[in-house]
Amino acid sequence: MTPSERERRARLQASCDALDCSASVHRWAKEWTTSATEQDEHLIRQIFERASKGRNLLSVDLIHPDAIVVPHTDPPVALTATEIIEMVDRYQRDNPVYEAHAHEIRRVSVGRYVVVGRIRLSRGKNGFADTPAAWAIVIKDGKVYRVKGTATALEAERVLEADDWSPTPAGGRR
């Protein structure tokens, strides 16, 4: 939050306090003064908080109806909002542990983020796969609009630069 945004929030809060505003006005004032970047980052943290506990990464309340998601799968696929919800549900039903952890959320431009972290997946009797991962994420209308899983932050940046939501790995390599 910039100093001017903090100052605006403080003035608005002081005005509400002086007028003895209701709780709903306080909530509105907070939402109004929260930047789009803060809201986007909150949404991304919420998704990865769920995912780090093995819960559904994405749910209808978090995903844009026109979303395209390219998850970490082999072979790569591009899925719609409905298809990704079904896939995540299936993964979590079939795998005792399926987690995604975010260690870094980096804003690249308005509504566009690179997230760096790890994926942990149960392989049954073969133990766990615990691998580094990155995601290119676009937020639109307060919901996840585009996601593409990549191996590195650099690949995620390339996805955002090229606006490439195809199932082909970033840079066209296979």
Q: CATH number of the domain that 156 lies in?
A: 3.10.450.50
Q: Is the pLDDT of residue 164 over 70?
A: yes
What order do you get walking across the sheet with 112-122 strand by strand? 79-80, 63-70, 143-150, 128-140, 112-122, 98-109
Number of structural domains the chain divides into = 1
pLDDT in tens, 90-122: 776 776 667 889 999 999 999 999 999 998 877
Tell me, yes or no, whether 156 lies in a domain. yes
Tell me, yes or no, whether 12 lies in a domain. no
Tell me, yes or no, whether 59 lies in a domain. yes
pLDDT in tens, 6-60: 666 666 555 555 555 544 444 544 455 468 889 999 999 998 888 777 665 566 7
Tell me, yes or no, whether 114 lies in a domain. yes
Residue 111 per-residue DSSP state: T
pLDDT in tens, 48-67: 888 777 665 566 788 899 99
pLDDT of amino acid 85: 81
Tell me, yes or no, whether 40 lies in a domain. yes
Structural domain span for residue 83:
35-172
